Chain A
Amino acid sequence: MGMTMTEKILARGAGRDSVRPGDLVLAKVDFAMGHDLTIPPAGKIMREQMGAEKIWDPDRVAVTQDHFQPAKDAASATLGRLTREFSHQMGIKWYFEVGQGGICHTVLPEHGLVLPGELVVGADSHSCTYGALNNFATGIGSTDLACVLALGELWFRVPETLKFVYHNRLKEWVEAKDLILYVIGQIGVDGARSKAMEHVGEALKHIDMEARLTITNMAIEAGAKNGILEFDEVTKEYLDGRAKRPYTPVSSDPDAEYEKVFEFDVEKVELGVAKPMSPDNYAPLSEVAGTRLDQVFIGSCTNSRITDLRRAAAVLEGHKVADGVRLIITPSSHQVAIQAGEGEVCLSTTNRNFPGRMGHPKAMVYLSNPAVAAASAVTGVITHPSEVLKHLPANVA
């Protein structure tokens, strides 16, 4: 019987010829990540409770100061200090100081630290992002991270795999963000619970690596354990000159077993948003166009990579933000600091709009792609970007 990419990576990590969904395996980890919220407790558990004096491999751990940095208060400054001290004491090679890195999920791919065929864990729920680079990547808790730091291995339950096949090509203005919001709208926030989401199909050939990272970033918003893409020319080009280690890509066998296969004609996917209060509350843009806004946010680990910012900049060029609207653009910094007030309406390029995630529980948060967000900031209401700019310039389209 064949195996999926996810199954192959877990089998290799476990030193086995094959694994099946539901198997519990003890597997070697290739790379681990923690940040200023999760490293302090993991370090404490590792040293004080597990009795480890050093970490298993300082070359295979990355630590970012990205959640509460620069520190917003004394408590976050302390977390930053504990994170810094632990990283230095353990000799962690990939330590990213405040101002030198950015959001973990942007930094690790950028630096070529998470590679095809690898088993990657991160103590952050959006660690599934890295799977766009043809690896198994999943979010874990601080106790789990402590185990990985001490031993370089962790137990996993092999997930069932759901296959998503994307036919044809996305239309003008429609981005990877619209596609994944649409897919989550179809299957729901629980639609891929604890499972692997394998994304394949010709449509992906025309989607660049930064946009692919947006697709896998949101796997957790469908409840998935991981999201994974095939290795192709786009992956290879992205990693050339960037990959920090040699790597071996992985592909699914033709007779691999899937729990379910979903097929989408992506040409039919419209520019869309997730309406408040859940990422699966999808609506085509036409349904919400004209909704008055107080705030527009372009940022987060989902949509603030350089291509996102270029697209937003192209839409904004020559225009002014509408009166009464705040436009906040943060290149790959974290969304937690960005608050919307009670009853305010916000359009954001992040990944979650559950109540309380971004400001007051009664703030109304819509999710969209960066071009829609930029155009909406200009008009003050949710707007199709073609109303502001006829076509995206070729260099950012």
Chain B
Amino acid sequence: MTLPKVIRGKAWKFGANIDTDQIIPAKYAIYSLDEKELGKHAMEGVPGRETWASQVTAGDILVADSNFGCGSSREIAPVAIRGAGISLVIADSYARIFFRNAINMGYPILQSPQAAEAVHEGDELEVDLDEGVIRNFTRGDEYRSEAFPQFMNELLRMGGLVPWVRKRLEERRKTAKAAS
């Protein structure tokens, strides 16, 4: 899986304290190994968003307010959002475990209180992951988010923590071999 330097898409706007049961209701946990199936039910627990997943165009961007992903430590929450076709999540802030789970599976999520406040649903966004810049073409605005450091970009590009550790171990073995 490769992560492009720049991500473009239409914004979907959600509120504060969206918990993991709203992101993917517990009854769909049986599809834990089927990302596409989980994606069909993403955000179904948010009132008024019962059919949201069917309206998403691949590459769209989800923008949310504070404490996104609170609740259980369910790893399928970021999987469901990715399965729905969302290329990137931007939020004012995240629940800690959701943040770790997303990064560890190689899914880019950005924190930008500025963007979370200013972006409206339907805005056309462009996100430069290396620079940490979010451009809003609909409003002519630009927002900052923390740019990912190099190791994190590498980890995200490689598809998450497990492949990244595997590669790092191989590199260490090579260095050790060369030294001996």
A residues neighboring B (CB under 8 Å): 22-26, 45, 49-52, 140-141, 143-144, 146-147, 150-151, 155, 157, 190, 193-194, 223, 225
Given contacts A155-B151, A193-B96, contact A143 B166 (CB under 8 A): no
In-complex Cβ contact of A50 among B97, B103, B162 (8 A): B162
Q: What are 10 sample pairs from A and B whose C-beta atoms fall under 8 A apart?
A: A22-B146, A23-B146, A49-B162, A50-B169, A51-B169, A52-B165, A140-B100, A141-B73, A143-B104, A146-B165
B149 engages A25 (CB within 8 Å): yes
Give CA–CA (A106, B103) in the complex, Å.
32
A24 pairs with B165, CB closer than 8 A: no
Question: Does B46 have its Cβ within 8 Å of any Cβ on chain A?
Answer: no
Chain A's nearest CB lies how many Å from the CB of B166? 5
CB interface residues, B 63-111, toward A, < 8 Å:
67, 70, 73, 93-97, 99-101, 103-104, 111
Tell me which residues across on chain B come within 8 A of A25, comparing CB atoms: 149
B155 within 8 A of A: yes
Contacts of A225 in B (CB 8 A): 96
CA distance A223 to B60 in the complex (A): 31
> Chain A residues near B104 (CB, 8 Å)?
141, 143-144
Please report the C-alpha to C-alpha distance between residue A193 and residue B92 in the assembled complex, in whole angstroms: 13
> A141 to B93, alpha carbons, bound, how many Å?
20
The 8 A CB mask of B146-180 against A (1 = contact, 0 = none) is 10110110010000011001101110000000000
Asked if A155 meets B103 with Cβ closer than 8 Å, knowing A23-B146, A193-B95, A225-B96, the reply is yes
Task: Identify B152's interface contact among A50, A51, A155, CB under 8 A.
Answer: A155
Find out whether the CB atom of B100 lies under 8 angstroms from the CB atom of A52. no
Partner of A151, one of B101, B146, B169: B169
Q: How many whole Å from A17's CB to the nearest CB in chain B?
A: 15
Q: Are A50 and B96 in contact (CB under 8 A)?
A: no
Q: How far is the CA of A140 from the CA of B96 in the complex (A)?
A: 10
Q: How many A-B residue pairs have CB under 8 A?
A: 63
Q: In the complex, are the beta carbons of B162 and A24 less than 8 A apart? A: no
In the assembled complex, how far is the CB of residue A380 from the closest CB belonging to chain B, in whole angstroms? 36
Interface residues of B in 115-169 (CB under 8 A from A): 146, 148-149, 151-152, 155, 161-162, 165-166, 168-169
| Contact in complex: B161, A24 (CB < 8 Å) | no
User: A141 near B97 (CB under 8 angstroms)?
Assistant: yes
Give the shortest distance, in Å, between B139 (CB) and chain A (any CB).
Answer: 25
Residues of A contacting B165 in the complex (Cβ-Cβ under 8 angstroms): 50, 52, 146-147, 150-151
Instruction: Please measure, in the bound complex, the distance between the C-alpha atom of A384 and the C-alpha atom of B161, giving whole angstroms.
Output: 51
The answer for the CA separation of A362 and B170 in the assembled complex, in Å, is 52
Task: Using CB atoms, name the residue of chain A closest to B168.
Answer: A151
Q: How far is the CA of A238 from the CA of B132 in the complex (A)?
A: 46
- Contacting residues, chain B, for A155 (C-beta < 8 A): 103, 151-152, 155
Q: How far is the CB of A165 from chain B (nearest CB, A)?
A: 25
Given contacts A52-B169, A141-B73, contact A194 B162 (CB under 8 A): no
Question: Chain B residues with Cβ under 8 A from A143's Cβ?
Answer: 104, 161-162
Whether B67 lies near A190 (C-beta < 8 A) is yes
* A contact residues around B111 at 8 Å (CB): 22
Give Cα distance in the complex from A146 to B165, angstroms: 9
**In the A-B complex, the 5 residue pairs with the closest CB atoms:** A194-B96, A50-B165, A26-B151, A49-B162, A147-B165
Assuming the contacts A23-B146, A155-B155, asked whether A45 and B100 have C-beta atoms less than 8 A apart, the reply is: no
Q: Given A151-B165, A190-B67, A193-B95, does the pair A24, B100 have CB atoms closer than 8 Å? A: no
A150 to B169, CA, bound (A): 8
Distance to closest chain A CB from B164 (angstroms)? 8
